[in-house]
Amino acid sequence: MALCAEDLKQWVKEGKVYSCERQECNKLLQLQKEQQEKDPEKKNFPAPLPWQGNARENIDLIFLGGNPSVVGSWNEPLRDWDFERRFEEYFNYYQHREESEIQGGKTLDYWNDCEGIARSILGKVARNLAGNLQMANDRVRWKDYILMEVIHCFFNEEKDLIKHYNPIAKLCSTEYTVPIIDMLRPKGLVIMGKKAHDCFIRLTDRPADKLSLYKTDESVKVKGRVIPAFRIHHPSARRWGYWVPPTDPLFRQFGERLNCN
């Protein structure tokens, strides 16, 4: 029997990702509290999130990044919420993500980059005579893919996160990322950036040490199930020139492999 929205909601509620405070994360959580005490303007920090988008079984794509601090808006559910009372609000916030929550900046850039990639892979892209990417009328944002990270907590200070990244990412991915992928059974994975790749690949059944960048015929095995996987640079890498635009034929080739075009 296919998973329904209530099944997903119950999984998140029982897993309590929203209130996770494991030992490996304590140092970073303490740093967050210290930042909050020093800066009275800071509100409480966002709660950990399961995913962003309309998650469902056999979804076309799961995008896997490294750290949700780059994907937050100004109105995230907070760690100090009463989740017994506000769990529905928390779940629906991420399951029914709205792009209107932010006015611009790196979060919107990231969302737009992922949407452009999804459109190219899923065959929902038109190009004008100049070869520029044109968005079709059928919206795919938060519908045909979800965004997820190997770390599910928000950490505002990247330098602090780097010191503790590997143990936290391993814990988060083992407890949440891998089980979510196993539960949703996506048609394909888009793995963005070296940090997400290096963490995730160690938790799969894949015998090789790594996936090659922009190779469209590779796969990972998650709990016995083979899933086509496409490793790309993280969208933020464009500032250093490491970026292949989604108009490149490689994205469409990966989509053809998924039979989503």
Per-residue pLDDT tens for 52-89? Answer: 888 999 999 999 998 766 555 667 888 888 998 999 99
Gap between the Cα atoms of 49 and 97, Å rounded: 12
Helix, coil or strand: residue 33: helix
> Mean pLDDT throughout 196-209?
79
Gap between the Cα atoms of 105 and 115, Å rounded: 16
- Report residue 133 as tokens: 């990417």
Count of alpha carbons within 13 Å of 143, Cβ hemisphere only?
7
Confidence of residue 128 (pLDDT cuts 50, 70, 90): very low
Residue 248's nearest CA partner among 212, 213, 211 is 213
Q: Are the beta carbons of 260 and 123 closer than 8 angstroms?
A: yes
Q: 73 is in which domain, residue-wise?
A: 5-258
Distance between first and last Cα of the chain: 26
Instruction: State the amino acid at position 124 in one-letter form.
Output: K
User: pLDDT per residue over 95-113, tens digit each?
Assistant: 987 654 555 556 777 888 8
Query: Looking at the predicted structure, is the pLDDT value of residue 21 above 90?
Result: no
Total domains in the chain come to 1
Q: Are the beta carbons of 90 and 77 closer than 8 angstroms?
A: yes
Gap between the Cα atoms of 1 and 151, Å rounded: 30
Gap between the Cα atoms of 191 and 261, Å rounded: 20
> Mean pLDDT throughout 20-28?
71
For residue 141, the model assigns a pLDDT of: 64
For residue 129, the model assigns a pLDDT of: 38
- What does pTM read for this prediction? 0.87
For residue 130, the model assigns a pLDDT of: 40
> Mean pLDDT throughout 165-184?
88
For residue 42, the model assigns a pLDDT of: 59
Helix, coil or strand: residue 215: coil
Q: CB neighbours (10 Å) of residue 161?
A: 21
Residue 107 is part of a domain; what is its CATH number?
3.40.470.10
For residue 79, the model assigns a pLDDT of: 82
Confidence of residue 160 (pLDDT cuts 50, 70, 90): low
Confidence of residue 131 (pLDDT cuts 50, 70, 90): very low
User: What percentage of the chain reaches a pLDDT higher than 70?
Assistant: 75
Confidence of residue 135 (pLDDT cuts 50, 70, 90): very low
> Mean pLDDT throughout 176-183?
94
